[in-house]
Amino acid sequence: DAGVTQSPTHLIKTRGQQVTLRCSPKSGHDTVSWYQQALGQGPQFIFQYYEEEERQRGNFPDRFSGHQFPNYSSELNVNALLLGDSALYLCASSFGTGQFRNYGYTFGSGTRLTVV
Amino acid sequence: DAKTTQPNSMESNEEEPVHLPCNHSTISGTDYIHWYRQLPSQGPEYVIHGLTSNVNNRMASLAIAEDRKSSTLILHRATLRDAAVYYCILSPLPSGSRLTFGEGTQLTVNP
């Protein structure tokens, strides 16, 4: 059973460009969350998608946007890249949102984004 | 979100038990205690969670203080593969809510 799949694994972009990262959730999961992890720090929550809608959002600017498709896969888009956007971007999936659902998130191995 | 406090680093020897502490003095009555770990070059991995009672699973045990202001993750026999950053996280639901990660505890396991 495949876990969470993220692509690409590594990416180098130039300041000011736009980037799209992709995530396929674990089989049976319908909720996708995105996290940003700077070097040496814990992951920071960006947003969560469920039923193709953004359900929760962390403290990130509007340059960060996302989408969830009918097959539950998701994309993270970042516009007008800054040097500070260099980080590991993690996708996490789970079953449903709310207290009556399965426990625990399954994380992917992430996409390492470098902005130069 | 309620805050958790963990030691920055801990060391253990292979095949010995490891007790990783977490303080959460401002925990609310509906906050669950979650533990995740992150091995090098990987995303975080769910370890265990609990609300009030101690919990056991195949990976670890979670001991929760009676007043719930602290908890301890117990690895019964550390292996080299257990070397990772361990995060203690509070969340108001079993799942579905955002996870607020701190800096965690870097566990080193010596052979």
- Residue A42 CB neighbour total at 10 angstroms: 19
Residue positions counted in chain B: 111
- Residue B14 CB neighbour total at 10 angstroms: 13
Give A-chain residues touching B98 at CB under 8 angstroms: 33, 45, 48, 56, 58
pLDDT digits (tens, 9 = 90+) for A75-94: 999 999 999 999 999 999 98
**Residue B84 C-alpha, separation from nearest chain A C-alpha, in angstroms:** 12
pLDDT digits (tens, 9 = 90+) for B3-62: 899 999 999 999 999 999 999 999 988 888 999 999 998 999 999 999 999 999 999 999
For residue A32, give the nearest of A83, A75, A85, A88 by alpha carbon. A75
In A, what residues contact B, Cβ < 8 A?
A: 4, 31, 33, 35, 41-45, 48, 56, 58, 90, 92, 94-99, 101-110
- Residue A64 CB neighbour total at 10 angstroms: 18
Between the alpha carbon of residue A70 and those of residues A102, B36, B92, the distances in Å are 20, 29, 28
